[in-house]
Amino acid sequence: MLRLGVAITLAFIYVPLLVVAIYAFNGGNSIEWPLPSLTTHWFSVAIQDHGAQQALLTSLKVGAAATAIALVLGTLASIAVGRHRFFGRETVSFVIILPIALPGIVTGIALSDTFTQVWGISLSLFTVIIGHATFCIVVVYNNVVARLRRVSGSLEEASADLGAHTWQTFRFVTLPSMQTALVAGALLAFALSFDEIIVTLFTIGAGQETLSIWIYNNLFRTTQPAIVNVVAVLAVLISILPVYLANRLTREEGGAGGRGAGGGTEARAETAAMP
């Protein structure tokens, strides 16, 4: 029974992805199934597509900038919540979760309202980065808070007792203990930004495209439908590396830290911390 349930869910997850991959080799011009013929033609078309290249570059820029901001702000907030008791601590986590808990359309229209109507700045990549960073903070925060919960604060107290000042304790005790959580958080934040489209549509300037938006716009250009599938397949293939890395990093930490089973649990808790 249980195994049947597992099989159904896995099939549900993977059949559509498989369909995406098969359609990348579509030799015909329609979306009829079964495909009339197969070709690898679209791969060379996609790789040489100038629009797709530009869009990829834009996505990488936006993702990197948003992730950098989220790393700094998310880490600061997680240290405050994970290492201090203070009034309003729960409200802080509520405020951090809010941008991801509210639908993207709300975040999108609120930011777009504010940028155009209040600040009077026109929409651009800069406004996209601000939007993305806002909902990426929570990913870093969740990962680092989960880690801080597992690593006892007494290490930091010991460091202070032994004469280290605030920066030294941070640099030599706190930071190393949360290093892998930071990497995992950064990867997830980047992935979230890379895939995002709703907030992006509301905050991006005219004529600019992230890869997500490029794909979205190309769905309606029916002359070369398979090119979208090719880009998707390439994106999944490239993403295998960071997924593998993130998984490995959080798991290795458990073994290397000598915390045995406890470390393993932590790794999984962090993988799950992706909203």
Partner 1 sequence: MEAADALAPAAKRSAGRRLADLFHGRPRLQVGTLLAGPLGWLVIGYIGSLAVLLIAAFWSVDSLSGEVNRALTSANFDTLTSDSVYREVAQRTILIAAAVTLTDALLAFPIAFFMAKIAKPRTRGLLVVAVLMPLWSFYVVKVYAWQTMLSSGGIVNWALDPLGLSGPGYGTTAVWLVESYLWLPYMILPIYAGLERIPDSLLSASEDLGAGPGTTFRRVILPIAFPAVVAGSIFTFSLTLGDFIAPSLVSPDTQFIGNVVYDNITTNLPLASAFATVPIAVMVVYLMIARRLGAFEHL
Chain positions 187 to 206 lying near partner 1, rule: CB under 8 A, are: 191, 195-198, 201-202
CA 112 to CA 107: how far, in whole Å? 8
44/268 with CB nearer partner 1: 268
Query: Which residues 30-59 are close enough to bind partner 1 by CB under 8 A?
Result: 30-34
The answer to whether 97 contacts partner 1 (rule: CB under 8 A) is: yes
Residue 258: left (phi > 0), alpha (psi -120 to 50), or beta?
left
The answer to whether 215 contacts partner 1 (rule: CB under 8 A) is: yes
Among 25, 63, 104, 127, binds partner 1 (CB under 8 A): 104
The answer to whether 172 contacts partner 1 (rule: CB under 8 A) is: yes
The answer to whether 64 contacts partner 1 (rule: CB under 8 A) is: no
Question: What tokens appear for 144 in the block?
Answer: 């680092």
CA dihedral (205, 206, 208, 213) positive or negative: positive
Single out the residue of 177, 216, 213, 186 nearest to residue 54, CA to CA: 213
Among 49, 62, 71, 74, binds partner 1 (CB under 8 A): 74
CA dihedral (105, 110, 113, 114) positive or negative: negative
The answer to whether 127 contacts partner 1 (rule: CB under 8 A) is: no
Q: Please enumerate in sequence order all residues whose Cβ is within 8 A of that of 265, keeping only pairs 6 or more positions apart, or say none.
A: 254
Among 110, 124, 126, 259, binds partner 1 (CB under 8 A): 110
The answer to whether 95 contacts partner 1 (rule: CB under 8 A) is: yes
Among 64, 224, 239, 259, binds partner 1 (CB under 8 A): 239
